[in-house]
Amino acid sequence: MHEATTLEELIAERVAQEATRIAEKRIKEMFRVTEFDPDEVLGFMSSEEAAEFLGLPYSSFREIAPNLPRHAITPARFGYLRRELLAWGKER
């Protein structure tokens, strides 16, 4: 009888491990982790947000703004994308 209990425990353990593996696999398939682009989610930053993003005082940001990658929202207003500002910073 002792061997049967040990065999039962062994089988129960393997069944539990397989059930866990299958459940984890299905959960991963259901909720695939996808990378997202913050610019796609958050959109353009204003000049004030871009200055804060770069860690600059707004007055300093305004001095370098013409040299930054930016997009005209209106003739006098520009929008900035995070990925472009990061790329610009890496080039410097």
Model confidence pLDDT, tens digit, residues 23-66 = 888 887 776 656 666 777 678 999 999 999 999 999 999 999 99
Helix axes 47-54, 82-91, angle to 10 degrees: 50
pLDDT score for 63 = 95
pLDDT band at residue 1, thresholds of 50, 70 and 90? very low
Question: N- to C-terminal Cα distance for the chain?
Answer: 75
Largest CA distance in the chain: 87
pTM: 0.57
Same domain, 2 and 18: yes
Same domain, 50 and 27: no
pLDDT of 84 > 90? The answer is yes
Range of the domain at 57: 38-91
* 45, 58 Cβ separation under 8 angstroms: no
Same domain, 8 and 51: no
pLDDT score for 32 = 66
Taking the C-alpha atoms of residue 73 and residue 38, their distance in angstroms, rounded to an integer, is 19
